Amino acid sequence: MNKIEINKLPELSWEVSEAINQLRVNLSFCGSDVKTIMLTSSVPNEGKSFVAMQLWKSIAEMGIPALFIDCDFRKSVLRTRYGFSCSGHMKGAPHYLAGQAELEDVIYETNIKNGYIIPVAKTVVNPAILLESPKFAQMIAECRKRFGIILIDTPPLGSVADSLNIATHCDGTVLVTMCGQTPRKLVANSVEQLKRTGTPLLGVVLNAAKTNGSNLYYKKYYGKTGYYYGGGPLWARKRIKKADLPL
């Protein structure tokens, strides 16, 4: 198997690391049949890819073979942001879906133990035909047989329809939103879009948070679509009341 070195994974503060662990643990309560999880957001720059990458790393470090699939075919920044490097010509999911590579050629082992990745080596202007092809469903089905957890990083819902196509192949979705910045109406619209795919919304991550004092504030909110988390720099900019939720 080919290998990718991820050279720029940031060191996390204790608070952020614990928040990622909290997310990982609570996702594990969703059941053993929830193996393929999509992460998306309403608009760009909400921290979706950061959360996806750190969650993937956390799962892999627990000894679970975890696959990260980069499906932001139009504007993926992971390769440069995290300093991907490999020997030879890098190939990714678009190569497989276009019939230019075998699946084994686009799955890379990484320097994170138990961590594997299908990258985007070259962006695609209009990937709809690739995402709607039978080969995409085949790719997900084959990967489910080989890995314990699959995390799929997708484009924002408010930008293109790619994520809605991908959601139909997943067991659930995590929606990342920038707390205190993304309008609640926009988040509510994203939730409605995801409902139409029939894919469960497993939870909402409130990103870019500030806390009062040094102690973490954790509180769970139970709604029709899953958990809402408040606490720590990753989750909540302020304490959230149930009436403030987008549902």
> According to the model, what pLDDT value does residue 210 have?
66
Q: 213 pLDDT exceeds 50?
A: no
Q: 60 pLDDT exceeds 60?
A: yes
> According to the model, what pLDDT value does residue 161 have?
87
> According to the model, what pLDDT value does residue 221 have?
32
Buried b (16+ CB within 10 A) or exposed e, 100-112: ebeeeebbbebeb
> According to the model, what pLDDT value does residue 94 have?
94
For 109-150, how does the pLDDT look when each residue is reduced to its tens digit (9 = 90+)?
999 999 999 999 888 888 999 999 999 999 999 999 999 999
Q: What is the pTM of this model?
A: 0.84
Distances (CA, A) of 161 to 25, 110, 148, 197, 236: 30, 30, 27, 11, 28
- Give domain limits for the chain: 3-244
| CATH, domain range 3-244 | 3.40.50.300
Round to whole Å and give the CA distance between 207 and 47: 7
Q: 242 pLDDT exceeds 80?
A: no
**Helices and strands: H and E segment counts in the chain:** 10, 11
Q: 217 pLDDT exceeds 80?
A: no
**Tokens, residue 67:** 């696959």
> According to the model, what pLDDT value does residue 212 have?
54
